[in-house]
Amino acid sequence: MDEYVIYFDNVQFRAFRARICYYLRKNPEARRKRGRRHLTTSDMIRMTLLVFRHNLMQKLVAGWFKVHQSSVSRIVSWMRGVFRAVLADFIPGPDDLLAILNKLLSETERPIILLVDGTLIPVSQRKDNKADFSGKHRKTGKNIQVTTDVKGELLHVGPILPGAHHDRWCIKESGIEEVLARYSRLLKHGDKGYTGVTDFIVPHKSSKHHPLTIEQVVENLEINAIRCPVERGIAHLKVLSILRTGIRTHAVNREAVIEEIISVAIGLFFFKQSMRRS
């Protein structure tokens, strides 16, 4: 299977498989107790990556690997937990942004442009879950705050928050605003949703009785031109279709499953990014 199908190329897949095999040898209790004998560890890794990359229906994946749909469900659920444990070092934590910014600022004495934006991860609809319903997007989902450099390379992804909230609330709740406020050499750019955030450079807002002047329109164009790479960074993250087309789950522990899926997808992205750098 090529990179388009399972997200990793051959070198990346072998490195990832080696990590999983090492983890399973060191943690026998994490091994799967039963399953289809003809499916190897590599097959189960490919199966799970296929689900994350294309968000396929389990019946379709079952037909591909010649197993039953229930087997796919059990394998993917088990392998998600293994993925999360293996990718723990690649899933950004609250303190990781501090380390990243300190490293960037230590490499130069010039001001550094930082781009921040929020994105919605769609999840399956639940009528009784108003906390995740985004009025802006008219769909249910989770909000994550993404930080990139001026080239659009992802530096950090914030914690998973309810999708009903505005980006202004999310960046404060995630702790990113507090961290960024510590550094005076950062030129922080965001869209109009970040109006009021400390030291953020955002476009001017117009209103019915206060239209934008020519100077403000030109300034908005310049700000949007600078911050557009963050959209490209989000698009690269959402190459994993499960983050773009929606997470489908009716599990009893729905919130935990959604958090695990998003965390694993983010970890897969940063693992792939680290492999490309090395």
In eight-state DSSP terms, residue 17 is H
Q: Measured between alpha carbons, how far apart are the two ends of the chain, in Å?
A: 22
pLDDT exceeds cutoff 70 at 128: no
Give bridge partners of residue 187 from the DSSP assignment: 113
Q: What is the CA radius of gyration of the chain?
A: 21
Tokens of 33: 């107790």
Asked if 267 and 259 count as a contact pair (C-beta separation under 8 A), the reply is: no
Alpha-helical (H) ranges within the chain are 3-6, 10-26, 41-54, 58-65, 69-86, 96-106, 167-173, 176-180, 214-227, 229-237, 241-244, 254-277
pTM: 0.92
Asked if 242 and 261 count as a contact pair (C-beta separation under 8 A), the reply is: yes
pLDDT exceeds cutoff 80 at 236: yes
Q: Where are the domains of the chain?
A: 3-86, 92-250
Q: Which residues contact 208 (CB under 8 A, 6 or more apart)?
A: none
Tokens of 244: 């773009």
pLDDT exceeds cutoff 90 at 198: no
Nearest residue to 85 (alpha-carbon basis) of 22, 15, 33: 22
Residue 153 burial (C-beta neighbours within 10 Å; 0-12, 13-18, 19+):
middle
Asked if 163 and 133 count as a contact pair (C-beta separation under 8 A), the reply is: yes
> What tens digit of pLDDT does each residue of 244-277 get?
999 988 888 888 999 999 999 999 999 999 998 7
pLDDT exceeds cutoff 60 at 35: no
pLDDT exceeds cutoff 90 at 164: no
